[in-house]
Structure 1
Amino acid sequence: MKHNYMKKISIPLLVAALCLLAFITIALSISDNQIHRFDAVLINWIQGMESPGMTRFMQFFTWIGSELQVVVITVVVMLILYVFLRHKRELLFLASVLIGSTVLNALLKLVFQRARPTINRIIEVSGYSFPSGHSMAAFSLYGGLAFLIWKHIPSFTGRVCMIVASAGFILMIGISRIYLGVHYPSDIVGGYFLSGCWLSTCIWFYRRYLQRLSQLQAKSFA
């Protein structure tokens, strides 16, 4: 009985629920001013690496994660999916992930209205701080791409390299925002968890859609 029950548990929905719980925990900690020590420790450590070369390095990653570059990368990927692979459903999946992530970020920034850090700011940006738009966009884009590309990579080594590259871009884009002084670490981590929740939910719906489509096709040939 327990074995059958465990089989019915959807891993994407379980991941989504855990990510949502983590995001809510961070959001409540921010509201109660309980997360300042965590933010201060990480800010001091990351900004302690400041140098001209490191600043250029971090500016590159924050540029890669900016809105225009994310749009360009997304359009290029969609063209590849449509023109070369003819995967229209994957195209719609990726678009849904990114659009939903953008809308969620805009709405929640209005809800929390957290001011950005003011100490040691290397670049100037406007708008609210929590959750980080860069971290959400990076997680949604590179996480979504990793999910779509996974089945097209036959070798274990290739898959590991793809996961490492995706995780590296996501992590560095988030760190760059802390280094440049425009986000608290809790903004970044909160953005990761929120995007993880949204991406996992989209994966669940996408798999359900493919499953039902396969069942309908099987019935039509029966």
Structure 2
Amino acid sequence: MNIKKYLFSAFIISLVSVIGFGIISLLISDQKIRYFDSKVITAVQGLETPGLTEVMKFFTFIGSTKVVIILSLVLLFFLYKVLHHRLELILFASVIGGAGILNGVLKHLFQRARPNLHRLIEIGGFSFPSGHAMSAFALYGVIAFLFWRHISTRIGRTILIIVSCFMIFAIGISRIYLGVHYPSDIVGGYFASGFWLSAAIWVFQFYKEKRYNRKHTHNN
């Protein structure tokens, strides 16, 4: 894929994410999304078993701030020492750190109370958008982006995308299952993080293109 396609794709994803988040936000403000939330919560929590609860607690733990920070530090070390990336380190740190900051700002703006139906764990703070959903989307999304070009086979790239999508989905579902988020919190978190990730990739690719053009113009 050439740079123009990268930039166009990133722009479209960013635009769709902003529109999607805006729609979810309006539906929440008007209380028009209660039916969707209640139906999904009923379906997900209807699957409750002791074994599944432990699995969901594991995915919630994987999506916690502490684990995301540890994974990020390991990946930053790998990008720097093994793949010898430099500029990519800035992209990675910007995506992960920016998603956390954006989540805090949005939670403060909306101040949505958490569901109080059937909680399997206790947690404080506001509910919308889900911090776990945002950090999972940011982390596994940027991992997929950065590692894609290092995988030459179709099967390898397919596995990368499947694993990334599975982790994002599993962490989001775990929050609904455990009763600490509405489904709309998760969807809103995905949209918000999708915007931030795609915007960061757009800036990253745009800068790389400019630097490449300056270098080759100077050499010529």
For Structure 1 versus Structure 2, the TM-score category normalised by the shorter chain is over 0.9
Match of 2:54 among 50, 53, 56: 56
SS of equivalent to 1:10? helix
Distance 2:46 2:190 in 1: 23
Structure 1 letter corresponding to 2:77: L
Indicate the residue corresponding to 2:136 in structure 1: 138
Scaled by the length of structure 1, the TM-score of the pair is 0.96
**How many residue pairs get matched?**
217
CA drift of 1:187 comes to 0.1
- Structure 2 stretches lacking a partner, 5+ long: none
CA drift of 1:32 comes to 0.2
Distance 1:60 1:45 in 2: 20
Contact 2:7-2:206 within 8 A present in 1 as well: no
Residues 1-150 of structure 1: pairs in structure 2 closer than 5 A: 10-150=8-148
RMSD of equivalent CA atoms: 1.3
CA drift of 1:220 comes to 2.4
Indicate the residue corresponding to 1:180 in structure 2: 178
Contact 2:37-2:182 within 8 A present in 1 as well: yes
Can you list the C-alpha shifts for 1:123-149, whole angstroms capped at 9, x where unaligned?
Answer: 000100000000000000000000000
SS of equivalent to 2:104? helix
Scaled by the length of structure 2, the TM-score of the pair is 0.96
Can you list the C-alpha shifts for 1:135-177, whole angstroms capped at 9, x where unaligned?
Answer: 0000000000000000000000100000000000000000000
Structure 2 letter corresponding to 1:200: S
Distance 1:10 1:85 in 2: 27
* Superposition misfits of 4+ residues, deviation over 4 angstroms: 6-9
Distance 1:88 1:71 in 2: 19
- Structure 1 stretches lacking a partner, 5+ long: 1-5
Residues 160-179 of structure 1: pairs in structure 2 closer than 5 A: 160-179=158-177
Distance 2:188 2:43 in 1: 19
CA drift of 1:8 comes to 11
Indicate the residue corresponding to 2:154 in structure 1: 156
